[in-house]
Amino acid sequence: MKLLNYTTSYFSAVLLILLGIWAVIFYVEMLDEIYDSLDDGLNNQKMLIINRVKNDPETIKQLDFKEASYKIKTINKERALRFKDSYRDTLMYMHNEEEFEPVRLLETVFKEGDGFYKLQIFTSMVEEDDLIEDLLFSLILLYIGLILSIVLLNNWILKRVWNPFYNLLQQLKNFRLEKDQKILTISSNIEEFNLLNTRIEQMLEKSISSYNSQKQFIENAAHELQTPLAISINKLELLVENEELNEQQIKLVASVLNNLEGLTRMNKSLLLLSKIENRQFPDEQEIDFVDLVTNLKKDYKDLASHKEMEIKIEMTSYLKHTMNKDLAGILVSNLLKNAIIHGKEGSEIIIEISQNSFRISNVSNRKALDESRLFSRFQKNSESANSNGIGLAIAQSIAEKYQIELRYSFTEKHNFHLDF
Amino acid sequence: MKILIIEDELDMLQNMKDFLEKENFVVETASSVFEAQNKIGVYAYDCILLDINLKDGSGFSLLEDLKKKEIEDGVIIVSARNSLDDKLQGLNLGADDYLAKPFHMSELNARVKAVLRRSHFRGNNIIKLGNLCIDIDEHQVDIDEEVLALNRKEFEILLFFASNKNRLVNKSALAEHVWGDHIDQADNFEFIYSQIKNLRKKLNAAGANIEIKAVYGIGYKLVEG
């Protein structure tokens, strides 16, 4: 959930509860106040009626409500003495409305002369009913109004206030350490954001510099290893030429030589990989992939025919892309090599070229490969002892450099796609 | 034949010297620009192997000096800086060839011999090997005056072996020389085996008195007899 919506929903829930409680209290208070004033009115009327009875004994004959709002009834003394004033809500038939309406009723007793009388006075509560309705309606309106203004204000204020934060977030989302890009922060009046900005800038600077020095280190290490490796291999070759060695000794040296050569190959691949990552192939030109593949097919003819494989090129259009010539060659030849090495003996390798895609597919006994691991370094996906698992990582690295998408799919065949 | 190696990496220098001396070359060495200048000033060499990064200067300046003095020695640049610019600069300054470090000794040997052939036997680019006669310009091999039909790769294999007669030729050196740099990480070079097998068959059928021997999984050796 977005920060914006999160606070808004939080506010809505809290407001709903708070406004509810507040409305109940308000309502009860109002009701209390209304009853108070109604009861005061009734009490006042009571005094007036009792006074009127004193002056005009005829009044006492008001036995039913009729057109007046009170009635008087005689009661015996015992009941009168036990009687206490009571206010209550009740229903009464109203002629104008032709139905029962709520009324407030006061029952009291008084003594006039020797007689005890019970007096009932009522007052209509119709308006108060409307009041409750109005109150509820207003509360709902108030609630909606509050939520709306909070959402709008929240949006407006949050967007303004959190702008540096969202800006930073957007850049972090697109940030890739390998891409050597800078994060541009917006300075803000808010201390926390400034702190966040400077901290992130420092952290990224540190990561970038350690990433670069790591890349540089790999390149330097690979570079420095080349000569000692070559010297060792040369010396061992000279040793093998020595006539005095017996077969067993030569086999031992041969084994060391093979390992050293494996190391040399791996070192060469690493050096190439870090050179690509360190952007040491600046020259670019338009590469005709059909040309490139046709030439590579010739280069790999012997390797393929050794496994009795046939390389078929199917093109529907020319495919051209601007990139470094050597890297284009390495990219395609690594994919081709991969297909030959892991392909089944006697099978076909099919290369399909269209206007903006390139696909190379081979058949093998293996099931679908795990794409997530396929393109990482040193991921050995084969039993082949001589494959060091860097070839596809190199291809991936080249493809990335030129915004080409390299992906793998399995459809009975193993397919490697380049989408331009 | 006299060769001067200018190289400041002493182990490397020693390796090259040992290897080339086995080929019956007279080898002299220099490990600095200063030392090299002294030697070049006094003696004439058939071939100079020149490292670009020397402690007291660049091999390029040495190359310029050589060409200014119109010294006709063949020059092969040997550089750890495997960059196209270096290669172009070197060849523009008049070097005969460029070899990136690290390299196989058999490759160096083939390059040296190619330079020597060009400078010493102009127009007569033919190698005699047992009863074989290899015409490099014509890409043709004769055995006892009979033409031996070889494809381009087989010819290159044979020529590489001829340059490294009686020497151990590492499989990867052969693969890189014949199939190019990119082949080296490809496979366990099994495919080379089938190529060699074909070549042997053709040589035997034509009655060649040379033999390509396998050397314990390391590579091959071409011997006469």
- Give the span between the Cα atoms of B210 and B225, in whole angstroms: 6
- Give the span between the Cα atoms of A88 and B27, in whole angstroms: 130
Mutation for testing the B interface, residue in A223, A237, A265 having most B CBs under 10 Å = A237
Superfamily assignment of B2-120 in CATH?
Response regulator (3.40.50.2300)
Find the range with the poorest average confidence among A14-18, A112-116, A201-205, A373-377.
A373-377
pLDDT of B30 over the 90 cut: yes
Least CB–CB distance from B102: residue in A229, A241, A307: A229
Counting Cβ atoms within 10 Å, is residue A251 exposed (0-12), middle (13-18) or buried (19+)? middle
- Give the span between the Cα atoms of A259 and A261, in whole angstroms: 5
Question: How would you classify the pairing of strands A357-362 and A413-419?
Answer: antiparallel
CA-based nearest residue to A72, from A122, A118, A139, A23: A118
* pLDDT, position A302: 81
Using an 8 Å CB-CB cutoff, list chain A residues near B168: 237, 240-241
Peptide bond into B102 cis (omega under 30): yes
Q: What is the mean pLDDT of residues A7-11?
A: 78
Average pLDDT, chain A: 84
pLDDT of A194 over the 80 cut: yes
DSSP secondary-structure letter at A376?
S
CB of B123 within 8 Å of a chain A CB? The answer is no
- Give the span between the Cα atoms of A407 and A404, in whole angstroms: 10
A227/B9 touch (CB, cutoff 8 Å), yes or no: yes
Percent of chain A with pLDDT over 90: 12
Confidence of residue A83 (pLDDT cuts 50, 70, 90): confident
Distances (CA, A) of B17 to A294, B5, B23, B28, B172: 42, 8, 10, 8, 22
Q: What is the mean pLDDT of residues A213-219?
A: 83
Q: Over the stretch B52-79, which tens digit does the pLDDT of each residue have?
A: 888 888 888 888 888 888 777 889 998 8
* pLDDT, position A349: 92
| Report for B82-86, B184-188, B189-193: range of highest mean pLDDT | B189-193
pLDDT of A125 over the 90 cut: no
- Give the span between the Cα atoms of B59 and B85, in whole angstroms: 14
Q: What is the mean pLDDT of residues B149-154?
A: 87
Contact A78, A118 (CB under 8 A): no
Least CB–CB distance from A269: residue in B15, B172, B185: B185
CA-based nearest residue to B106, from B178, B192, B47, B208: B178
Q: Over the stretch B160-169, which tens digit does the pLDDT of each residue have?
A: 999 898 898 9
Mutation for testing the B interface, residue in A226, A302, A378, A388 having most B CBs under 10 Å = A302
Cα torsion angle, B153, B159, B164, B166, sign: positive
* pLDDT, position A250: 87
Find the range with the poorest average confidence among A113-122, A227-236, A254-263, B119-128.
B119-128
* pLDDT, position A313: 92
Q: Which residues contact A74 (CB under 8 A, 6 or more apart)?
A: A115, A116, A117, A118
Counting Cβ atoms within 10 Å, is residue A43 exposed (0-12), middle (13-18) or buried (19+)? middle
pLDDT of B81 over the 70 cut: no
Contact A375, A393 (CB under 8 A): yes
The whole-angstrom distance between B42's CA and the closest CA on chain A is 30
Task: Report the CATH fold assignment for A285-419.
Answer: Heat Shock Protein 90 (3.30.565)
Q: Over the stretch B199-224, which tens digit does the pLDDT of each residue have?
A: 999 999 888 889 999 888 788 999 98
Task: Report the CATH fold assignment for B126-224.
Answer: Arc Repressor Mutant, subunit A (1.10.10)
Residue A359 corresponds to which tokens in the numbers above? 């696909």
Q: What is the mean pLDDT of residues B12-20?
A: 92
Q: Which residues contact B85 (CB under 8 A, 6 or more apart)?
A: none
* pLDDT, position B25: 93
Hey, where are the domains in chain B?
Answer: 2-120, 126-224
Neighbours of B188 (CB within 10 A): 16
* pLDDT, position B111: 92
* pLDDT, position A379: 65
* pLDDT, position B185: 54
* pLDDT, position B49: 93
Distances (CA, A) of B109 to A411, B20, B114, B165: 49, 7, 9, 10
The whole-angstrom distance between B91's CA and the closest CA on chain A is 20
Contact B53, B81 (CB under 8 A): yes
Q: Over the stretch B86-136, which tens digit does the pLDDT of each residue have?
A: 788 888 888 899 988 888 899 999 999 988 888 776 656 888 888 888 888
Q: Which residues contact A26 (CB under 8 A, 6 or more apart)?
A: A135
- Give the span between the Cα atoms of A262 and A410, in whole angstroms: 30
Confidence of residue A101 (pLDDT cuts 50, 70, 90): confident
Hey, where are the domains in chain A?
Answer: 3-156, 177-207, 212-277, 285-419
Using an 8 Å CB-CB cutoff, list chain A residues near B182: 299, 329-330, 333, 337
Mutation for testing the B interface, residue in A243, A274, A303 having most B CBs under 10 Å = A303
The whole-angstrom distance between A358's CA and the closest CA on chain B is 21
Using an 8 Å CB-CB cutoff, list chain A residues near B172: 261
Average pLDDT, chain B: 86
Using an 8 Å CB-CB cutoff, list chain B residues near A241: 22, 167-168
Q: Which CATH number fits domain A3-156: 3.30.450, 3.30.460, 3.40.720, 1.20.120?
A: 3.30.450
Q: What is the mean pLDDT of residues A380-397?
A: 70
Contact B78, B51 (CB under 8 A): yes
CB of B184 within 8 Å of a chain A CB? The answer is yes
Supply the pTM of this predicted model. 0.66
Q: Which residues of B132-149 are buried (b: 16+ CB within 10 A; e: fewer)?
A: bbbebeeeebbbeeeebe
pLDDT of A385 over the 60 cut: no
- Give the span between the Cα atoms of B222 and B135, in whole angstroms: 18
pLDDT of A19 over the 90 cut: no
- Give the span between the Cα atoms of A161 and A179, in whole angstroms: 30
- Give the span between the Cα atoms of A185 and A10, in whole angstroms: 30
Residue B136 corresponds to which tokens in the numbers above? 């490099």
Of residues B71 and A335, more confidently modeled: A335
Of residues A379 and B134, more confidently modeled: B134
CB of B18 within 8 Å of a chain A CB? The answer is yes
Q: What is the mean pLDDT of residues A189-202?
A: 89
CA-based nearest residue to A231, from B19, B183, B185: B19
pLDDT of B82 over the 80 cut: no
Find the range with the poorest average confidence among A243-252, A281-290, B188-197.
B188-197
Contact B178, A300 (CB under 8 A): no
